[in-house]
Structure 1
């Protein structure tokens, strides 16, 4: 039998040893997971660690690999939500934003249109009344000049607004093209904000996908309940800084035109009347971090971008001594009096927070405000006990499958069956190492793929061993029969595995969810099976033949 080249032997051994070491962390899952979580937390804190984090970090040696196979929702337990994005919410904000532009555009035509005021109208349209209808044509043209083209996949289409005249009113509506584009932007923005919020709290391997035109699927393994997940992602976290008109204890007080009556978050019975148009908003925040105020109480420090810093600085300089409301989700969480000019766009939010509340608020502000509200159409909580049962059942199925295959191989091929079982064990280690390294989430269908791999892994060995039997019956010596068996079975092995690999790839690209999880495991299993059957088994048999030099062999 022609000996395998030394470099090939070393390469095969190196891959096998890598598989052992890379798969090892999964045997100590909880310990390594705690180590990884502590490492991430310390990195986020700028290298500062708590005693508990130091202890968790020391539970696993730093020189060993620490990548794990992430467990999916069905194995780990967690929360499942299907949310609908209420895209119509954005129309009102867009229309409200148009009013200052329309007002400014008509200001230059005051001698033609007379006085201009905003008239009551539905949320999705802007109605502006002019006192001199004779200038309506010029007014409509001035407002139409504010329109911008809507960019779509097919190029530039319609304008973003439609302007018409109805009596003494100018009516501005969003065009159908703009509504469609706005709906798509709203869902995409919601998707990214939800992903940012979930990632910020360190949950593991969340699945966040768009479904249909206005729905988002959220699956987060390891979180306590669906209600906890809803609290995290469903909070709008809309932050604004509004001028205060006055305070009142009357819950039904008339706020006046373009003002809003908002309750105080931490003072029951106190209400603030604030100007509806904010000076700056949370969209102009570039950072928010939990901190402590001068009294050592939990707070949130923030920083605006350049435009927000200028507006914030200009307002504080012009309104020293006036109260300034910090509004979060239509509640006044703080209304400090401006003591001096605040340049630079830095500030702090106080409001009788706990440490947990200040941390959560900072996360929500960093992630940004949801552009529209969410309606949860479906919610499920999968308990960790069910996930543990699934893991146990999957392990049991894999062990039973491996034992059955191992017994069959030994019963059918004797010592050569033992060699095949050694290759099978190496195959499983390399497969687990690959899944851990690439971070592929393991689900129940993935376990099914592993169990299938166990059966498929010995198919190549069966082809090789049967071919060796034929060569022995033809009168070849054991070394030559073994060499011929491996060489002449290779084409059949490649054909069978390539067709299986193509099937798995089609499943991956066409399927979704569980099907793709199964396809990933199956694809990797086919690749590792070919490697171990053709190279590892051959190396083991070759080492045995060179060591024992038998005159006859029984396969």
Structure 2
């Protein structure tokens, strides 16, 4: 055996062994005792094979922009006060801020302030009536686009943190278009709970109750300026259902938000045996909370989550240490989900569920069975045809075909890829493509044998002349797979990945693998007639 053949044989053997090694953890199951680097390299099943939930969410980015404008309006109001610019009104209206200034001089000073500190705000309209000047400010289009994109990016990161803490393995959370998010949670056992956790805005606010305002009067005539009516849910302790709502008049001013929370944990009340959520604040939050409680002793502080009052305890004394707690007759599961949502941060904007699909585990098992059946039947027919039509050469092609499937599955396991039903279709397609390459080679060899060449020379010419055709066909298919991977989502990407890996594996096994077997057989003995 020549040195070149020895090297080629060693490479084929090494690649095949590596494929088998990386495939072992997936075949032996999670309970098998394997080295650490191998135990982590497993072939994961996709949503359509093991069941789970598929969601498409849309981030209402306009709400995030409006909230940013509200914060800018409050900040601008404080800046006007510091600069002694007299303004009668500073109020946000959607994506705009309306200002009413006392005179033209104040308007000119406002413009200077905007140029220096608020370049993202631009005057959209200006009217003057008497000495009063009314100005409408709007966001710069680039700034509005930046805020909307940030809201989507932040929503993806927040949802990913929540899903990770929820305990789902191998989730898929990717952007889809400009404002949509694709979420796939394979193996999820409680879809409803997952949806509640993912969609919870988790906007936490600490506000004071307007205790000097009558709730009945506010319900009848509307709340006074600077206040609003929020409700505290009354929950049945047995069924955990909301059985009533108690109205409370709450000040609109937010004393502190949830952005200062560093940790949230579930604790059990030793007296009433009910779960509650403890909060830890960062240094800034601890100082703010201490100041709020020291300045409002004897008043009720409402803890508002997503517009619902969770509790409104009376502040008995100044609270230092940067800790607080939320009580609200939670079940243990609700308290855990609330803690996860608060730890991962609030969503920058509400999300809307546009598409929802749940795949049951039994359907996933049926898909696996059907896919493997299709692969087995298709593979068996191909193996039988090659062995009957091309005789001994067909058997060599069948060995390469088995090697091809092993290399595909081993590569998917190596990269910890997710195998989906379209991925199995890609493997079946690759099996046909691998055989197609051998058919081209064998027909070329037959033509050379008919010209009277020896088996060794016919083999050499057959592989050389078929190579360019095989390469062109596989390159064009690989380009199609790359386009599918770039622009496809979910199952389409799974199909593209499997197809691309299959193309590389089939090129290796059909051209290199079978050639090594033929060369090793022909060079060790004198063959006058090739069984093809």
State TM-score, norm by structure 1.
0.79
Q: Distance in 2 between matches of 1:483 and 1:213?
A: 54
SS in 2 for 1:252: helix
State the Cα distance separating 1:392 from its structure 2 match: 2.3
Of 107, 130, 136, which aligns to 1:137?
A: 107
Q: In the comparison of the two structures, how many residue pairs are matched?
A: 515
Q: Distance in 2 between matches of 1:475 and 1:91?
A: 79
Q: Say if 1:545 and 1:213 are closer, same or farther in 2 by CA, change over 3 A.
A: closer
State the Cα distance separating 1:363 from its structure 2 match: 1.8
Contact kept, 8 Å, 1:445 with 1:518, in 2: the verdict is yes
Alignment correspondent of 2:365 = 388
SS in 2 for 1:366: helix
Q: Distance in 2 between matches of 1:281 and 1:206?
A: 30
Contact kept, 8 Å, 1:193 with 1:370, in 2: the verdict is yes
Contact kept, 8 Å, 1:2 with 1:483, in 2: the verdict is no
The correspondence of residues 109-508 of structure 1 with structure 2, limited to 5 A, is 113=86, 116=88, 122-129=93-100, 132-133=102-103, 136-138=106-108, 140-141=110-111, 144-145=114-115, 148-150=118-120, 159=121, 162=124, 164-165=126-127, 167=129, 168=132, 170-175=134-139, 177=141, 178-223=143-188, 227-246=192-211, 252=219, 255-266=223-234, 270-292=246-268, 297-338=274-315, 341-343=318-320, 345-469=322-446, 482=459, 485-486=462-463, 489-508=466-485
Q: Distance in 2 between matches of 1:459 and 1:165?
A: 77
The question of 1:87 aligning with 2:64 is answered no
Alignment correspondent of 1:75 = 49
Residues 396-443 of structure 1 show CA distances to partners (whole Å, capped at 9, x for unaligned) of: 211111011100110022233222212211210110111222233333
State the Cα distance separating 1:278 from its structure 2 match: 1.8
Residues 162-204 of structure 1 show CA distances to partners (whole Å, capped at 9, x for unaligned) of: 5745544644432351444433333333333333333432334
Q: Say if 1:342 and 1:538 are closer, same or farther in 2 by CA, change over 3 A.
A: farther
Alignment correspondent of 1:61 = 33
Alignment correspondent of 1:36 = none
State TM-score, norm by structure 2.
0.82
Q: Distance in 2 between matches of 1:85 and 1:306?
A: 31
Which region of structure 1 is more displaced relative to structure 2, 397-406 or 326-335? 326-335
Which region of structure 1 is more displaced relative to structure 2, 544-553 or 308-317? 544-553
Contact kept, 8 Å, 1:78 with 1:223, in 2: the verdict is yes
The unaligned stretches of length 5 or more in structure 2 are 236-243
The unaligned stretches of length 5 or more in structure 1 are 33-58, 151-158
Q: Distance in 1 between matches of 2:133 and 2:49?
A: 61
SS in 2 for 1:505: helix
Contact kept, 8 Å, 2:206 with 2:257, in 1: the verdict is yes
SS in 1 for 2:356: strand
SS in 2 for 1:79: strand
Which region of structure 1 is more displaced relative to structure 2, 261-270 or 496-505? 261-270
Contact kept, 8 Å, 2:278 with 2:325, in 1: the verdict is yes
Q: Say if 1:102 and 1:466 are closer, same or farther in 2 by CA, change over 3 A.
A: closer
Two-structure CA RMSD over aligned residues (Å): 3.6
Q: Distance in 2 between matches of 1:294 and 1:440?
A: 47
Contact kept, 8 Å, 1:72 with 1:441, in 2: the verdict is yes
